[in-house]
Amino acid sequence: MGASPSSAFLADLTYGFPVTISALPIRIDVTTLAFETPEDLFSLLPSQSPLSWVRSGEGLVAYGEYARLEVSGPDRFSEASAWWRDQLRTFRTHDNVRESGTGPIAFGSFSFSESDTSVLIIPEVIIGRRGDKSWITTIGSPIMQTDAPYLTERNYTLTWGEGARSAVSWQGAVANAVRRIQSGALDKVVLARDVQAIASKPIDVRRLMAKLAENYPKTWIFAVDNLVGATPELLVRLTKGLVTSRVLAGTIRRSGDDERDLALAGSLARSSKDLEEHDYAVRSVADALAPFCSSMNVNEAPFVLHLANVMHLATDVNGVLADSLSTRDTLSLVQALHPTAAVCGTPTATARDLILEIEGLNRGRYAGPVGWIDATGDGEWGIALRCAEISEEDPRKIRLFAGCGIVAGSIPDEELAESQAKLLPMRDALEG
């Protein structure tokens, strides 16, 4: 019997030496096509395990799980990057759109601490929109999932409870941290707290994302593996060699009165306590990115970022990736940046030790990097703030997180009020 066309082709490739088909890697088709999306990207998602990275109606949503990596330890970022590169070698990509975020994508959510589990997920179906372009990417031949649309109104009751420690106990930890700082042990530490809620019915992540997008359009609405939130802080973006980071540190609660809020913004911009906290955070980001960049630009003074519930001191850090590092990807930058002073403290090692000693909370993936990476290594990563984690075992249970930067001038009562303001986005989304 004569050789089949496929075996003849293999013989040509191998100069006549015998090979077996199983010796060659299986290539999976990845196809990106133009796709008209509705205004509400979340309406395209099923209720089970949706993925999201959306800001002001643009970004990426996804579902289905083609492949998944769970990793922990100090090398979790480099191990995730290596796994992603290995996966890319198995793809055969057909991209008719060729925008940032087209082709295969991996969504990631990394733990704050190296001892906890991080996750990287390659979805089967990815839908994106940027400007006047929108697209759909499929990996292999996924089953296009359909599901009941999410309800716009809450159809459950909520019971609220304390988290790992009471509000009074957390204020005691803040006072302890202030004493340590005033003794000269460190300059700043970030202390987090949590609260918990139980709903009478399973919580629909899609509804939470839609509510967050409605209330906080200037933030990145993310959802990865039951962690959902609206982060205002861009840890790092890498796009065609350009590096961008937005640092937020120093916060004041909005009053709801425009004239009063302008006065509050002015007081925030002049606050020595908040400017000190902000300076630590900016320096930690700039120092971490400097080895990767041939040039950098850091604004001399912060601006005030107005969000729906709070105002932050903000500074943009921009750079150009050094030519010698052109093969580096966003996960390399994420590894160098995490944890920043905005979520840990200064000096980093001392602050991290103090957090472990007095915080009394397992952060999990709260305050860790969250975002996505594409086949070129470009991507966007934020810090998982203003967020909550839905229990995998019981989707009626949810845990909300908030954290505050503590410096020598911090007052426990004021820090508690700030933490309550930072819990509002998720509380409002749940209760709305």
Give the closest residue to 100 by CA, choosing from 63, 65, 144, 131.
131
In the set 79, 133, 211, 233, the catalytic residue is: 233
User: Given 70, 124, 162, 188, which residue is catalytic?
Assistant: 188
- Specify whether 233 is catalytic: yes
Residue type, 131: G
Q: How far apart are the first and last CA of the chain?
A: 71
- Using alpha carbons, select from 384, 420, 341 the residue that is nearest to residue 111: 384
Q: Are strands 227-231 and 125-130 parallel, antiparallel or unpaired?
A: unpaired
- Name the phi and psi angles at 276, rounded to 5: -65, -50
- Strand pairing report for 369-374 and 105-109: antiparallel
Distance CA 161, CA 196 (A): 5
Beta-carbon contacts of 47 under 8 Å, excluding residues fewer than 6 positions away, are: 147, 148, 150, 204, 205, 206
Q: Which residues are catalytic?
A: 188, 233
